[in-house]
């Protein structure tokens, strides 16, 4: 049965206002599911808790810009070599958001625990040394190792209610190829109760079946598939196009001052439908396309 939806239908149907734990895939300015994220902003869905990959970027900062996020569980929100995340920083410094401070190890292992139904997951010795677990006792705890009797740091499972994920291609049943690095997107898919995919291109099941090893997301874990060519813009889509750094700098400059936030949102998000956004972005994307070589390698798959 087809799971194809428009971006509007996907958010209307699967992201309730006040969604409990919303996970956004991608890492740094790569594979951010921006078509879905922008639609969350257009439909003004408030988010009780947002979860990023080990490195969140525009996917998180835009939702913070829109004032939709009450709490964020993250180990990083920033723009890597381009600078700090203006809205994350402002919200943290003014105390308008609750941060569940995490580290990369916990986010990864916590998703694994969520995916596998584990009640909690022990973390490597030494991770208890940093201040991170001390300021986030909702995600981390110390307990007794039943085998050695020693103390061990454990993490709570991460079980997103909804995960928004970008993939390169998928068929209508949700079988999908991540045409580049996996980051923790597969773990998010495995751990989430509902998965919405945005893809560059919807292909036939016959075409997908040519790459069974590279098709690392099975359709039975996916509820909705949205065809959104260019949908990661202004972030990169592995195998398709690179980061639009110029447009990222426009974002950083406009939202860098609180007064600029509403203008940015009007101009680039709420003032246009996703189809209209795509038409405008198409010209910019033309200059950012990758060659074909790596994509065909990527289709052969990372095996895990």
Partner 1 sequence: MAVTAGSVTEGSVTVGAQTPDLAFSRSELMAIELAAHLRDDDVAVMGTASALPQVACRLAQLTHAPGLWYIAGGTCSVNPHLSPVVASCCDFDLLRADTALPLSDVVLLEGRGDVLTVFFAGGLQIDAYGNCNLVAVGEYSHPTLRGPGTVGLPFLSRVGRVLIYTQSHNRRTFVERVDFLSGPGFLGGPAEWASAGLSGGGPALVVTPLCTMDFDPESLRMRLVSLHPGVEIDEVRDATGFDLLIPDAVPVTSAPTSAQLSIMRDLDTDGLLKGP
Single out the residue of 15, 36, 37, 75 in contact with partner 1 (rule: CB under 8 A). 75
Shortest spacing between CB 81 and partner 1, in angstroms: 4
Of 130, 138, 131, 75, nearest to 107 (Cα)?
75
Q: Are 96 and 119 in contact (CB under 8 A)?
A: no
Q: Distances from the Cα of 208 to the Cαs of 49, 118, 179, in angstroms? A: 34, 32, 12
Cβ proximity to partner 1, 112 vs 264, nearer residue = 112
Instruction: Report how far residue 128's alpha carbon sits from residue 189's, in angstroms, rounded to the nearest whole number.
Output: 28
Longest CA–CA separation in the chain, Å:
62
Cβ proximity to partner 1, 14 vs 79, nearer residue = 79
Shortest spacing between CB 58 and partner 1, in angstroms: 13
* Interactions with partner 1, residue window 120-179 (CB under 8 A): 123-127, 129-132, 135
The angle that helices 245-255 and 58-65 make with each other, rounded to 10 degrees, is 30
Summary count for the chain: helices (H), strands (E): 11, 11
Cβ proximity to partner 1, 7 vs 77, nearer residue = 77
Shortest spacing between CB 133 and partner 1, in angstroms: 9
Asked if 80 touches partner 1 (CB under 8 A), the answer is yes
Shortest spacing between CB 74 and partner 1, in angstroms: 6
In sequence order, what are the residues at sequence separation of 6 or more whose Cβ sits closer than 8 angstroms to the Cβ of residue 237? 30, 31, 166, 168, 200, 230, 231
Cβ proximity to partner 1, 168 vs 198, nearer residue = 168
- Where along the sequence are the contacts to partner 1 (CB under 8 A)? 27-30, 54-55, 74-78, 80-81, 84-85, 88-89, 92-93, 95, 101-105, 108-109, 112, 123-127, 129-132, 135, 180-184, 186-187, 236, 238-239, 242-243, 290, 294, 297-298, 302, 304
């Amino acid at each position: 049965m087809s799971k194809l939806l428009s971006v509007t239908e996907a958010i209307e149907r699967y992201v309730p206002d006040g969604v409990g734990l919303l996970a956004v895939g991608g890492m740094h300015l790569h594979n951010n599911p921006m078509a879905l994220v922008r639609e969350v902003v257009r439909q003004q869905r408030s988010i009780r808790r947002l979860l990023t990959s080990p490195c969140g970027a525009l996917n998180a900062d835009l939702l913070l810009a829109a004032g939709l996020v009450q709490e964020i569980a993250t180990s990083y929100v920033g723009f890597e070599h381009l600078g700090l995340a203006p809205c994350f920083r402002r919200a943290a410094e003014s105390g308008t958001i609750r941060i569940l401070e995490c580290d990369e190890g916990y986010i990864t292992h916590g998703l694994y625990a969520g995916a596998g139904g584990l009640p909690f997951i022990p973390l490597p010795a030494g991770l208890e040394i940093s201040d991170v677990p001390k300021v986030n006792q909702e995600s981390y705890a110390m307990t007794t190792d039943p085998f050695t009797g020693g103390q061990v740091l454990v993490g709570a499972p991460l079980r997103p209610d909804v995960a928004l994920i970008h993939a390169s291609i998928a068929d209508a049943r949700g079988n999908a190829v991540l045409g580049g690095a996996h980051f923790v997107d597969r773990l998010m898919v495995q751990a989430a109760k509902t998965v919405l995919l945005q893809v560059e291109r919807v292909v036939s099941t016959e075409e997908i079946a040519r790459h069974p090893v590279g098709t690392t997301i099975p359709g039975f874990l996916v509820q909705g598939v949205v065809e959104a060519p260019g949908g990661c813009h202004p972030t990169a889509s592995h195998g398709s196009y690179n980061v639009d750094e110029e447009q990222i700098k426009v974002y950083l400059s406009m939202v860098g001052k609180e007064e600029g936030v509403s203008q940015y949102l009007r101009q680039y998000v709420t003032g246009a439908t996703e189809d209209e956004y795509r038409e405008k972005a198409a010209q910019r994307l033309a200059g950012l396309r990758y060659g074909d070589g790596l994509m065909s390698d990527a289709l052969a798959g990372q095996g895990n």
